[in-house]
Amino acid sequence: MSNYDSTQHVKGSSLFVDDVTAPEGLLYAAILTSPEAHGNILNIDFTEAEKAEGVKGIFSAKDIPGDNQIGGIILDEPLFAEDKVDFIGQPVAIVVAENQLTAKEAVKKIKLNIEKLPAVFDAREAFAKNELIIPPRTFTLGDVENTWNRCDIIVEHRVESGGQEHLYLETQGSLAHPTEGGGIKIISSTQSPTAAQKITARVLGLPMHKVEVDVTRLGGGFGGKEDQATAYAVMCALASFKLKRPVKLILSRQEDLRITGKRHPYSSDFKIGLSSDGKILAYEVTFYQNAGAAADLSPAILERTLCHCTNSYFIPNVKATGISCRTNLPPNTAFRGFGGPQGMFVLESAIYRAAEKMGIDPSVIQEKNLLNEEDEFPYGQKVQNCNIRRCWNQTKDQFIYDEIKSKVVAFNNSNKLYKKGVALMPITFGISFTSTFLNQANALVHVYTDGSVSVSTAAIEMGQGVNEKMRNIAASVFSVNIDRIKVNSTNTSRNANTSPTAASSGADMNGKATEIACNNILERLLETAAKELKSPGTSIKILNEKIYVDGTETDLTWTKLVQAAYFSRVNLSSHAHYSTPDIYFDKTINKGKPFAYHVFGVSIIETTLDCIRGTYEIDSVKVVHDFGKSLNQLIDRGQAEGAIVQGIGWMTMEELLYNDDGKLLTDTLSTYKVPDIFFAPKEILVHFLEDAPNPNAVFNSKAIGEPPFMYGIGSYFSLMNAMKAFRNNNHYKFISPLTNERVLVSLYAETKE
Ligand code: MTE
Ligand code: HPA
Ligand code: MOS
């Protein structure tokens, strides 16, 4: 069991956009972006840049043949700024030259005269100025207003969570070249080839059939290329279309860090009410989402925040309001978890605060309120096949939580300057795009006459192993050796009208489509076999490339059968479409059944804090996770481990800092720190919940991409517990990331409450 890309990756022979063999006449592009966060463009002077030797063309808003509009959900984002700029890094023009250095030098020669306007970077400030992306949305269940008077304990607090840089290894980039008859072909590092196709067509004023987008693989996406890869594909296409030459645009790491959107920072207020025995009776929360300067995917992300605001718990009375605030930052975008982590962090903070007030361990409240079968979420769906209590109990038993806990207490009793903390973090994550129409996928499968198989789907390989999973599925349906299966690049001419590979549902949905397509061909092959073997009415099966009649092996093999089918003029190809059944969501009342199913799991996170330095280590992360019946245990374990470390990074060390003008200060990897192997948990134990087949996804599996990210939230509370063991200072809460600096300052800050 392996991921078939790994060998190529290790040898360096995998092709990313910048590795594609340069086509004849390739030109290189660089972009001019706004140096101001908000302002009016008074004048742009290209003269000096145009005169520079080797410059082939400069294109800006005025050169766009179609619409200067790349907005996905809302049409509020120009490809190139026209008369005003709304964030630092907003593209203004693209310069094309014979080589990259010339293009970059020419960009510096453009004179851009901007009249500065006041800028807003804070979500609450934007809200006060009524700068909203969409009207506020409220999800309700029960009646919070009439519940507060029944509560024994009520606590309120503010919670802040920071943004997060995706840091995919391959920066944003694209290569475009003209095709016969005035068309264009784009090679892009995108999670959404169809979006790149559609928006290129819109900007160039072409029918979609003249735009072909091809994606071999991404050096990581993590949501950062669900919406934001489009702009670079379109710019490249525009330049190539104009110059009738191939054009390549690859962002440098620093450009990518500066100009692309990130995970949304949220600022939230909660009020939670409980009975004296720890039952949560009411929860009211308001989320201020910092959307940045354009909508991008913010409305959909906010929707998922609202959906996941009660995490793994049943709360009978909920009022959750989401406010998407327009600021002068680069538009923030999808990032693993898609708003879910931000929502869950607030509730976990609320539970922590309530537990403090009640003088009990937060896990008492967590356990008491875990979901039971058929409990209702604020979005109207009832939880089914609910495994959260199984995961909880098994986590506590398997890893002997009580022992961990008593060891932590013993350690803290015998150490003055080092303190340990431990926290439990349950997760429940809904699988499906909350926009129901996106829950569709398709696959095109060909069986060639030598018995080899080619699979093309809408799924984008970005390191998550979806291609290997498609191979597993095809090999399993046909019962042939996996080496026979090749997964092709994702191409809009083979797979049309595709949804982004996102929402953790890439393998789920494209896997189903692949299964259906393979079964279509299998059915025809079995008919052929019955004829060949002159045994109609018997049970014919393929097992490990051999054909069996009523359980008896025959001389017929996979390859011979495929050839026989070909000579009998049997169709050896199939195109199949899959749409997730029985889901719907009414956005006017915020009720429905948006998710095909939920993913469950529970983690224990142990940390050790150096109370003199404020530094800390993540000792261990121990998890029981519901993978369903895993399609590929190696890949799924890798997904869980990677997501956990990324989630811990978000909560602890990853900090985006800006100056007063909105300029990102942490725009290098020496200033924006992400977990490395030294910071990674000393131990990550991921246990697969047994006997948990999922009837709602392909081969009883479950989606894995995003859910384990949220285990990382436990690291925050684990560290809080370690801090409290040193000094019970109410200054601590609830601001993430909990950097070393923040820990140190709050450990020694004056206490006031
Ligand atoms: N794993 C790797 N290695 N690289 C990635 O970019 N993206 C994550 C997750 N795992 C990502 C990853 C995100 S945000 C999603 S939505 C899923 O993979 C998408 O793939 P899937 O739907 O096939 O799980
Ligand atoms: N998840 C991820 N990506 C998305 C979603 C979603 O629910 N909706 C639109 N894009
Ligand atoms: Mo993932 S954030 O849905 O690309």
Phi, psi of 311 (to 5 degrees): 40, -120
- In this predicted structure, the answer to whether residue 203 has a pLDDT above a threshold of 70 is yes
Question: Residues near 160 by Cβ (< 8 Å), separated by ≥ 6?
Answer: 265, 266, 267, 268, 734, 735, 736
pLDDT for res 537? 80
Q: Which atom of ligand 3 is nearest to the CA of 705?
A: 1
Q: Which two tokens stand for residue 28?
A: 């290189």
Amino acid at 494: R
pLDDT (average), residues 301-311 = 98
CB 61: neighbour CB atoms within 10 A?
17
User: How long, in residues, is the chain?
Assistant: 753
Express each pLDDT in 459-475 by its tens digit.
999 999 999 999 999 99
CB 420 within 8 A of CB 459: no
Of all helices (H) and strands (E), which one includes residue 486? strand 485-487
The pLDDT tens digits of the residues spanning 204-221 come to 999 999 999 999 999 999
Residue nearest to atom 2 of ligand 2 (CA): 503
Which residue, 95, 109, 696, 699, is CA-closest to 439?
A: 696
pLDDT band at 729 (very low <50, low <70, confident <90, very high): confident
Q: Give the DSSP letter of residue 19.
A: G
- Distance in Å, CA 80 to ligand 3 centroid: 25
Q: What is the token pair recorded at 203?
A: 């900007």
Q: What is the pLDDT of residues 524-576, one digit of tens each?
A: 999 999 999 998 888 999 999 999 999 999 999 999 999 999 999 999 999 99
Mean pLDDT of 14-20: 96
Q: What type of residue is 187? A: I
Domain 4-118+166-259: CATH architecture, name and number where available:
Alpha-Beta Complex (3.90)
- pLDDT grade, residue 752 (50/70/90)? low
Cβ < 6 Å from ligand 2: which residues? Answer: 226, 297, 300, 304, 334, 338, 433-435, 438, 502-503
Confidence of residue 1 (pLDDT cuts 50, 70, 90): low
State whether the beta carbon of 459 lies less than 6 angstroms from ligand 3.
Answer: no
Cα separation of 551 and 566, whole Å? 25
Q: Which tens digits make up the pLDDT trace of 162-198?
A: 999 999 999 999 999 999 999 999 999 999 999 999 9
**pLDDT of amino acid 109:** 98
* Burial of 295 (C-beta count, 10 Å sphere; 0-12/13-18/19+): buried
Amino acid at 26: L
If you measure from the C-alpha of residue 299 to the centroid of ligand 2, how many angstroms do you get, rounded to a whole number? 10
The residue among 470, 482, 435, 453 whose CA lies nearest residue 698 is 470
Q: Could you tell me what percent of the chain has a pLDDT over 90? A: 97
| 25: three-class secondary structure by DSSP | coil
Distance between CA 304 and CA 36 in Å, rounded? 32
Other beta carbons within 10 angstroms of residue 560's beta carbon come to 16
State in Å: Cα 501 to ligand 1 middle. 8
Q: Note the maximum CA span of the chain.
A: 88
Q: How far apart are CA 288 and CA 123, in angstroms?
A: 6
In DSSP notation, 587-644 reads TTTTEEE--SEEEEEEEEEEEEEETTT--EEEEEEEEEE--BS-S-HHHHHHHHHHHH
Token representation of residue 248: 């390549």
* 489: nearest Cα among 534, 522, 459: 459
Query: Quick one: average pLDDT of 7-23?
Result: 93
CA atoms of 258 and 425, how far apart (whole Å): 33
pLDDT at 538: 84
> How far is ligand 1, taken at its centre, from the CA of residue 709, in Å?
11
Q: Provide the pLDDT confidence category of residue 635 given band limits of 50, 70 and 90.
A: very high
Work out the pLDDT band at 257, boundaries 50, 70, 90: very high
Q: How far is CA 91 from CA 21, 35, 749, in A?
A: 27, 10, 43
In CATH terms, the fold of domain 440-579 is Aldehyde Oxidoreductase; domain 4 (3.30.365)
Residues of the chain with CATH 3.30.365.10: 266-434+587-748, 440-579
Tell how strand 153-161 and strand 266-274 pair up.
Answer: antiparallel
Is the N-terminal amide bond of 330 cis, ω within 30° of 0? no
Tokens for 508? 């789920």
pLDDT, one tens digit per residue, over 212-253 is 999 999 999 999 999 999 999 999 999 999 999 999 999 999
Tell me which of 255, 461, 654, 706 is the catalytic residue. 706
Residue 528 has a pLDDT of 97
Binned at pLDDT 50, 70 and 90, residue 728 comes out as: confident
Name 397's Cβ contacts closer than 8 Å, sequence gap at least 6.
none
Return the ligand number nearest the Cα of 468. Answer: 1
Counting atoms of ligand 1 from 1, which one is nearest the CA of 502? 16
Ligand in closest contact with the CA of 596: 2
The pLDDT of 424-443, averaged and rounded, is 98
Taking phi first (over 0 means left), then psi (-120 to 50 degrees means alpha), and beta for anything else, what does residue 50 get?
alpha
Structure tokens that stand for 237 in this block: 């296409």
Contacts of 250 (CB under 8 A, 6+ apart): 17, 18, 100, 171, 172, 173
Going by C-alpha positions, the residue among 467, 472, 468 that lies closest to residue 457 is: 467
The DSSP string of 394-445 is: HHHHHTTHHHHHHHHHHHHHH-SSEEEEEEEEEEEEEES-SSGGG-EEEEEE
Kindly report the three-state secondary structure assignment for every residue of 718-738: HHHHHHHHHCCCCCCCCECCC
* Distance from Cα 503 to the centre of ligand 3, integer Å: 5
Rounded Cα–Cα distance for residues 670 and 744 (Å): 21
How do residues 696-705 score in pLDDT, each as one tens digit? 999 999 999 9
Pairing of strands 418-431, 597-610: antiparallel
Per-residue model confidence as pLDDT tens digits over 344-364:
999 999 999 999 999 999 999
Nearest ligand to residue 636 Cα: 1
Q: What is the pLDDT of residue 536?
A: 80
Answer yes or no: is the C-beta of 336 below 6 A from any ligand 3 atom: yes
Mean pLDDT for the stretch of residues 69-96: 98
For 10, 43, 61, 320, 329, the CA distances from 673, given in Å and listed in that order, are 25, 38, 36, 33, 20
Residue range(s) occupied by CATH 3.90.1170.50 in the chain: 4-118+166-259
pLDDT higher than 60, residue 720:
yes
Q: How far is Cα 270 from Cα 583, in angstroms, rounded to an integer? A: 30
Question: Residue for token digits 């909508």?
Answer: 295
End-to-end CA distance of the chain: 55
CA of 449 to the centre of ligand 2 (A): 39
CB atoms inside a 10 Å sphere around CB 55:
21
**Is 706 noted as a catalytic residue in this protein?**
yes
Amino acid 6: pLDDT = 85
**CATH architecture entry for 266-434+587-748:** 2-Layer Sandwich (3.30)
Closest by CA position to 700, among listed 595, 593, 597, 574: 597
User: Residue 753, SS3?
Assistant: coil
Name the pairing type of β-strands 573-579 and 173-179.
unpaired
Minimal CA–CA distance to 321: which of 365, 275, 274, 267? 267
How many CA atoms does the CB half-sphere of 690 hold within 13 Å?
Answer: 3
Q: Which residue, among 550, 515, 573, has the nearest Cα to 541 in the 3D structure?
A: 550
State which of 297, 303, 307, 333 you would mutate to test the pocket of ligand 2, scoring each by most atoms of that ligand within 8 A of its C-beta.
297
User: Which candidate, 478, 464, 555, places its Cα nearest to that of 514?
Assistant: 478
Does the beta carbon of 263 lie inside 6 Å of ligand 3?
Answer: no
**How high is the mean pLDDT of the chain?**
97
